[in-house]
Amino acid sequence: MQTHQFDALIVGAGGAGLMAALYASQGGAKVAVVSKLYPTRSHTGAALGGIGAALGNHEEDRPEWHMYDTVKGGDYLADQDAVRVLGEEAVDAVIELEHMGLPFDRTSEGRISQRRFGGHTSNFGEKAVRRACHSADRTGHMILQTLYQQCLRNEVRFFDEYQVVDLLLNQGVACGAVAIKLGSGEFHCFNAKATLFATGGWGRVWQVTSNAHSLTGDGAAIVLRRGLPLEDMEFYQFHPTGLYGLGVLLTEGIRGEGGVLLNRHGERFMERYAPTIKDLASRDVVSRSMYLELRDGKGIRGSDYLHLDIRPETVNRYLAEAGETRRIDEDFIARNLAETLEVCRTYAGVDPLQEPMPVQPTAHYAMGGIPTNVNAEVIVDAAGKVMQGLYAAGEVACVSCHGANRLGTNSLVDLVVFGRRGGKRIANFVREAPLIPPPMDAAEEVRAEFERIRNSEGSSRPGELRAQMQSLMMTHVGVFRSADGMRQGRDAVLELRQRFLQDLGIDDRGQVFNTDLMEAWELGCLLDTAVVTAECALAREESRGAHSREDFRERDDANWMVHSLISSQASGLVTEQLELALNHDKSVDRSLEAEDERFAPKERVY
C-alpha cells in the first residue's frame, strides 16, 4: 500500500475543505486535499442565494443583529460562543473572498450587493434586512471556483477522485486516513499530523432532497465507526421550496426578492403563520406551515404541493400593499434569479415569469455532525476534551452555530469562517507536533469490509435498500415526528441494515472505477447515519427548530437546553450491533445572553 506523508490532510474539497487548505498552506503547512469528486464538483457549487454578512451596503446592519437572528433562528440551541465568532468574522471573511477575486454583484456605489433572506432582520427582529451577499443566484459556485483557483495558485496538492474510507488512530491521536483511488481501486494511506474532515452533508438519507448523489454522510459514519461521538443528529433541516417531485432547490432568494407562497385558494398563507416577516420566516417555520396547509387539503389541486409565485404582477401587488416603493420586472428576475428560471424551465417545464412554481419541502441541511470547538478541533465529550490531530469544518461539523435550525446564507458563512479558523489552527499545530506513524496494518479492517461488499452475492440490491431507507426516513423522521412513527422507522431501517450486512448483492467485482462497490459502501454510511438520526430524534422529547414532535409540541427549555451526543461502543468497524450510547450532558453556551438579555430564550414569533 502506498503511503503519503503530509503535515495536513484535508478530506473534502467543498468550501470548508478548500478554505482550510488555503489557510493551512499559507501558514506554511504541507497540505494534501483528498476528495472523492473533482473539487469544483463539490456541492458547495450548488449553493444559490448568498452568504450572510452585516456589511450594511444598502442599509444599516450590525454583526450583533446577525448574531441575534442566528440564535433565534436556531431556536436557542446554538452555542453562543460560536455564533459570536460567526457574526464577528463573517464581514471580514466575505471581504477576503472579494479580495481573492470573487465576482460579487455590485450596488450602484460599486460595493458588494446584498439581498434579503429568511430570518435575517435588523435591530433584533424589527424588519427584514439586506444581508445576503450574492453573485446572481450562483454564489456557491463562485465561492467554490474562487477558493479552488487560489488553492492552485498556492500549490496545494490535490488527490482528486480518492475516496476516504477510514480514519487512522494511533496512541489515541488521529494520524491520517485510508483512501481508495477510484481509478485503480488501490488503497492509499495518508499519514498526517493533522486531519480535517470537510465531507459535507447526508441529504441522501431522505427521499426528496436538494442534495447531490454524493452526499452520503461518509465523514460522519467514518468517525462514528471509530468510536467518536456525533452531536445533535436529530436536527435536520427541510427547506420549504424544493421543486415538486424532484427536490431540486429553488432558492430562498426568490422570496428574498419578493416572491410569495400561495395555497390552492391563492392565499398568501404565511401571513397567518408569521405576521411580521411572512414568507421570510425561518425555514423550519415555513416548512411546517406548508405541511399544515397541505394537511388541511389546501394543496394545489388537492395535491401535495403549493405554489411559489415570483411573477412581477404578484410581487408588485404585495409590495404596494406593504407600502414599499420598490418594484420588480422581468428583467430584474432574469438577472438575479437566472439559475432559478433555468431549473424550472428545464425540469418542470414551468416558466416562472408566466406561472407559479410547484414546490414542496425538501431535505436540505444537517445542523448536527462531528462536534468541534470554535477552532474546528474535534471534541470527544461533553466537557469539550479535544481529540488531538483531528479537525472538522463545514456541514459535516457541528460547532453548533446553527443550533436547531440553520438560517439561509449561514452555511456558506460557516464554511469560510470555521474553515479558515481550522486552517490557521492546523498551520500552528503542525509546526510543533510530531508525525505519529499509522498503526500496523492500517487498512486491514476496512479492506476486509470492502472485500465483503465486492464479493457479495445476496439478493438485496443496494438500490432497493437505499430507496426503502429513504422512503422510511421521509415518512417517519421527516418534518413532523412522533414516538410511534420514529420507533417503527428506526426498527425498519435497522432491518435494512441487517440485510445490508447479511444479504447484500452487487454485480461489479472489478477494481477500476467500481462505482457499484463505492455506492454500496456509501449506502452503509447512509444507513448508520439514518439510525443515529432516528435514535437521537426519538430521545428528544420536545419540539425545537427543525425537530418537531406531534407528541411533544412545545419547546422545553427547562429540560432540553442541551446538545445530544451519540456514539457507538461497538468494537470493530462495521458490526451487527451499533451499540449506541446517547447522552445529553453537553450544555448550550449562553455567553451572549450573559451580556445582553435580548439573547435569552423567548417564544419564536416572526
Partner 1 sequence: MDISFRIRRYNPEAGRTKPYWQEFELNDVEPSHRVLELLHRVKWEQDGTLAFRRSCSSGICGSDAMRINGRNALACKLLARDVGPKIQVEPILGLRVIKDLIVDMEPFLAHYRQVLPWFVNDGPLPADGRERLQAQEDKDLITDSTNCILCAACTTSCPSFWANGEYVGPAAIVQAHRFLFDTRDTGDDARLDALGAPDGVWRCRTIFNCTPACPRGIEVTRAIGEVKLAVRKGATAGIIDPATIKQQH
Catalytic-residue membership of 421:
no
Nearer to ligand FAD, 209 or 543 (CB): 209
> Taking CB under 8 A as the rule, which mask of x and - marks residues 346-365 in contact with partner 1?
xxxx----------------
Cβ closest to ligand FAD, residue 159 vs residue 500 = 159
> Among residues 37 and 294, whose Cβ is nearest to partner 1?
37
Answer yes or no whether residue 507 interacts with partner 1 by CB under 8 A: yes
CB 7 within 8 A of CB 433: no
Q: Which window, 74-82, 368-376, 500-508, 583-591, contacts partner 1 (CB under 8 A)?
A: 500-508
Interface with partner 1 (CB under 8 A), residue from 75, 516, 528, 589:
516
Q: Does 14 help bind ligand FAD (rule: CB under 6 A)?
A: yes
Cβ proximity of 389 and 194 under 8 Å: yes
Report the residue closest to ligand FAD, judged by CB: 14
State which of residues 187, 365, 429, 450 lies at the interface with ligand FAD (CB under 6 A).
Answer: 365
Q: Which of 314, 336, 340, 409 binds ligand FAD (CB under 6 A)?
A: 409
Nearer to partner 1 (CB atom), residue 213 or residue 385: 213
Q: Does the protein bind ligand FAD through residue 164 (CB under 6 A)?
A: yes
Instruction: Report 375-434 residues binding partner 1 (CB under 8 A).
Output: none
Helix (H) or strand (E) holding 156: none
* Residue 520 to residue 527: CA distance in whole angstroms: 11
Which residues have CB under 8 Å from 356's CB, separation 6+? 262, 307, 308, 309, 310, 311, 314, 350
> Angle 268-270-273 (CA atoms, 0-180°, nearest 5)?
140
Among 8, 20, 22, 46, binds ligand FAD (CB under 6 A): 46
Nearer to ligand FAD, 94 or 472 (CB): 94
- 568 forms beta bridges with 580
Give the count of beta carbons closer than 10 Å to the beta carbon of residue 95. 14
Stretch that binds ligand FAD, among 271-279, 368-376, 409-417, 491-499 (CB under 6 A): 409-417
Sort strands 157-160 and 173-181 into parallel, antiparallel or unpaired: unpaired
DSSP secondary structure of 358-399: EEEEEEEEES-BEEB-TTSEEE-STT--EEEEEEE-STTEE-
Minimum gap (Å) between residue 162 Cβ and ligand FAD: 6
Q: Which is nearer to ligand FAD, 219 or 356 (CB)?
A: 219
Identified binder of partner 1 from the candidate list 1, 3, 38, 297, rule CB under 8 A: 38
| 110, three cell numbers | 460599486
Residue owning grid cell 420566516: 281
Q: Angle between the 444-454 and 515-539 helix axes, to the nearest 10 degrees?
A: 110
Is residue 54 part of the contact set for partner 1 (CB under 8 A)? Answer: no
Q: Name the helix (H) or strand (E) containing 586.
A: strand 580-587
What cell does 384 get? 469539550
- Specify the pairing of strand 157-160 against strand 397-398: unpaired
Region at 341 (left for phi over 0; alpha for psi -120 to 50; beta for the rest):
alpha
Indicate which of ligand FAD, partner 1, none lies near residue 136 (CB less than 5 to 8 Å, by partner kind): partner 1
Closer residue to ligand FAD in complex, CB, 202/552: 202
Which x/- pattern, by CB under 6 A, does the window 192-221 give for ligand FAD?
------xxx---------xx---x--xx--
DSSP string, 436-480: PPPPTTTTHHHHHHHHHHHT-B-SB-HHHHHHHHHHHHHHHSSSE
Q: Which listed option, ligand FAD, partner 1, none, makes contact with residue 410 (CB within 5 to 8 Å by class)?
A: ligand FAD
Residue 458 binds partner 1, judged by CB under 8 A: no
Number of residues in contact with ligand FAD under rule CB under 6 A: 45
Query: CB of residue 362 vs partner 1: minimum separation in angstroms?
Result: 12
Q: Which of 84, 283, 288, 540 is catalytic?
A: 283
**DSSP string covering 78-141, please?**
S-HHHHHHHHHHHHHHHHHHHHTT----B-TTSSBPEEEEEEEEETTTTEEEEEEE-STT-HHH
Report the nearest approach of partner 1 to the CB of residue 443 (Å).
Answer: 21
Binding site for ligand FAD (CB under 6 A): 11-17, 34-37, 39, 42-44, 46-51, 139-140, 163-164, 198-200, 210-211, 215, 218-219, 249, 251, 365, 394-396, 408-412, 415
Q: Which residues are the active-site residues?
A: 283
